[in-house]
Amino acid sequence: MMAPDLSSLDALPTPALLLDESRIMQNIARLSGRAERLGVSLRPHLKTAKSVEAARRLTGGVPGPITVSTLAEAEVFYDAGHADILYAVGIAPQKLERVQALRARGCDLVVILDSETQAQAVAQAEVLALIEIDSDGHRGGLRPDDPVLVHVGRILHDSGCLRGVMTHAGESYTVRGTRAHAEFAELERKAVVSAAEALRDVGLPCPTVSVGSTPTAHAARDLTGVTELRAGVYMFFDLVMAGIDVCAVDDIALSVLTTVIGHQPAKGWTMIDAGWMALSRDRGTAAQDVDQGYGLVCDENGRVLPDLIVSSANQEHGIVSLRSGVDGPMPDLPVGTRLRILPNHACATAAQHDRYNVLLQVGGPMQTWPRFGGW
């Protein structure tokens, strides 16, 4: 059997994950410039990308500091030359042996925690850690005025393991617009800087003060007291980010190439060969002002087809229709027509695929960037 031709869009089997390199580079430059103007270092989060080639673009071709969400990511990216890594998920004591193995190889792998139990395990393992701070009630973390903060800090410091504090303003995803995101960014900054000051007031060092979410990273006006900024999905963007005005639809670099395979004219349906196995089941825009179904439909060249969404998704079938409340005829999309679907959530859609098919900004054959999964 002959291997499929992956060098051109026309010959690419569907469904397939596409990346637009020109949009990627514009998105990267946008946040890099903001971090520089705000006077902080940028520590990109690679949980969405899970690709060595994508990481090279994020760090300017030279391995730099990164954030990861799994130890599998830490291992792959360390092997690719990234030695300064933050594992930004609360540490389970059972995972510390694996962390120690990476550190023994020379990786400056730092974990996060928010409890005395974790701190004691980390101190015993002699692993560096940041204390997670709760800045908005989104997930884990200690409040800056919680007495446990200083207690945990002392446990870590006594074993030489205290690196600093970090927070993630995840609730910023629930509001829309630059002003609202800037308010969350200030809540984030105040919380983590206050926590750092609480530690320093009792003689504990706090060299790292880390903040980050994609909405707040793009809206922050002042990061006084902060040392580094983290964000992840900004390289690709998606419909959730567009729906809360962090980006425009035209900034979205990730899409799924699909083919029309049938019609149900009486129902206003066009069938495609991309179901939830290619698009994911993520319905992140359902609670937003504009519900994009399972994805926004574009033509093969990436031009949005107005009011056309993937309204339903089975395992390997998608149903394209006009969004609810829109009257008018369906566009003429014969069997064999190729379309692109913009994703609700880039992380979830990318996770369905083992490679990116990259449309180069300078033209010529496409590139293939492998991506990995696992924990």
Q: What are phi and psi of 133, to 5 degrees?
A: -110, 135
Q: Which residues contact 147 (CB under 8 A, 6 or more apart)?
A: none
Q: Whole-angstrom Cα distance, residue 324 to residue 308?
A: 10
Q: Are residues 102 and 148 in the same domain?
A: yes
Q: Are residues 207 and 256 in the same domain?
A: no
Q: Are residues 303 and 189 in the same domain?
A: no
* Number of C-beta neighbours around residue 97 at 10 A: 9
What ranges in 21-160 are assigned the alpha helix state H? Answer: 21-38, 52-58, 71-79, 96-104, 116-125, 147-158
**33 pLDDT exceeds 80?**
yes
Q: Whole-angstrom Cα distance, residue 47 to residue 32?
A: 18
Domain boundary among 202, 234, 266: 234
**74 pLDDT exceeds 90?**
yes
Q: Whole-angstrom Cα distance, residue 328 to residue 318?
A: 21
Q: Are residues 222 and 260 in the same domain?
A: no
From 196, 83, 218, select the one nearest 135 (Cα to Cα).
Answer: 196
Number of domains in the chain: 2
Q: Are residues 270 and 314 in the same domain?
A: yes
**pTM for this prediction:** 0.94
More confident residue, 201 or 58: 201
Q: Are residues 184 and 261 in the same domain?
A: no
9 domain-assigned:
no
Q: Are residues 267 and 131 in the same domain?
A: no
The enclosing domain of 353 has a CATH number of: 2.40.37.20
Lowest mean pLDDT segment, chosen from 7-21, 207-221, 320-334, 353-367: 353-367
8 domain-assigned:
no
77-97 pLDDT, tens digit each: 999 999 999 999 999 999 999
Residue range 168-183: average pLDDT? 95
What domain range includes position 324? 249-370
Q: Are residues 298 and 197 in the same domain?
A: no
Q: Are residues 58 and 177 in the same domain?
A: yes
Q: Are residues 172 and 257 in the same domain?
A: no
What ranges in 80-146 are assigned the alpha helix state H? Answer: 96-104, 116-125
Three-state DSSP at 26 gives helix
13 domain-assigned:
no
DSSP 260-318: EEEEEGGGTEEEES--HHHH-S--TTTTSSS--BT-EEEETTS-EEEEEEEEEE-SS-E
Q: Are residues 116 and 196 in the same domain?
A: yes
315-372 pLDDT, tens digit each: 999 999 999 889 888 999 999 999 999 999 999 999 999 999 999 877 678 999 999 9
Inter-residue contact 156 to 190 (CB < 8 Å): no
